[in-house]
Amino acid sequence: MAHSQSTRYRVRVAQDGRDIRAAQRLRHLAFAPVVEADLDCDAFDPLCTHFLIEEQSGGRLVGCFRMLPLSSGVEINLSYAAQFYDLAKLSRFVGPMAELGRFCSLPGVQDPDILRHAWAAMTRHVDRTGVEMLFGCSSFQGTDPAPYRDSFALLRDRHLAPEVWRPRVGAPGVFRFCEGLGGHEPDPKQALRHMPPLLRSYLAMGGWVSDHAVVDARMNTLHVFTGVEIKAIPPMRKRLLRALAAT
């Protein structure tokens, strides 16, 4: 069982159906009202390792995420993201991969330590299993790209996936931010302020994104495919992550 200890939070791997249902209830709260049932669940849940972030005192669940292991890019079409993106180029990736999904925190709890504990758990998981690429979908709230012009322009200018791995369009509704922003020059401060924290973390590790965002009306989000090759993480960032994982 993976643990992360601090004065306030701990992280552990779900051990049984009760734990997984707790994560699904939290996901429902985080994603409502777009999720209709009391639980947010799908066909990928039985295939994933689920991580629970709890308060040390009282055990209240404040965050969760799941990870789907893939032996290599040959299995990329088994991923959640493959529903929305054409990932044919990534099918050539030869090392183990893991898809990070459904990351969320309890509504009303805005503590950056929750994300730090999530990355600590992910770091231990990557080191233990030999994962060579992490990927997932990073979501912006709402389906109107206008509030995120600076964010998308910054992604266009600095963080596009290398051509060898770049996802192609695979969904009917997309925002092609590489074409749809004209010559808009981003304000870096505004771009980062409006960017999802999880995506900022990916980018700080040398991560990259697709050249378009999927318009997901059901979840009321715009999301970009996001990936990071473990070998490309800057050495200083790796040291910081492993120091965090050791606490």
pLDDT at 5 (0 to 100): 46
d(CA 73, CA 166): 13
Residue 143 domain-assigned?
Answer: yes
Task: Per-residue pLDDT tens, the chain, 247 aa: give them.
Answer: 344 445 799 999 999 999 999 999 999 998 876 555 689 999 999 999 999 999 999 999 999 999 999 999 999 999 999 999 999 999 999 999 999 999 999 999 989 999 999 999 999 999 999 999 999 999 999 999 999 999 999 999 999 999 999 999 999 999 999 998 988 999 999 999 999 999 999 999 999 999 999 999 888 899 999 999 999 999 999 999 999 888 7
pLDDT at 193 (0 to 100): 96
pLDDT at 34 (0 to 100): 55
Residue 235 domain-assigned?
Answer: yes
Residue 55 domain-assigned?
Answer: no
Residue 51 domain-assigned?
Answer: no
Task: Residue 198: give the domain boundaries.
Answer: 67-245
d(CA 244, CA 25): 28
pLDDT at 38 (0 to 100): 86
Burial label, 169 (beta-carbon count in 10 A; 0-12, 13-18, 19+): middle
pLDDT at 31 (0 to 100): 84
Going 98 to 67 to 65 to 4, the CA torsion angle's sign is negative
Residue 237 domain-assigned?
Answer: yes
Entry pTM = 0.93
Residue 5 domain-assigned?
Answer: no
pLDDT at 36 (0 to 100): 59
Residue 41 domain-assigned?
Answer: no
How many domains does the chain contain in total?
A: 1
pLDDT at 222 (0 to 100): 97
Q: Are 39 and 28 in contact (CB under 8 A)?
A: yes
Going 166 to 168 to 173 to 179, the CA torsion angle's sign is positive
pLDDT at 2 (0 to 100): 45
Quickly count: other Cβ atoms within 10 Å of residue 13's Cβ: 15
pLDDT at 70 (0 to 100): 98
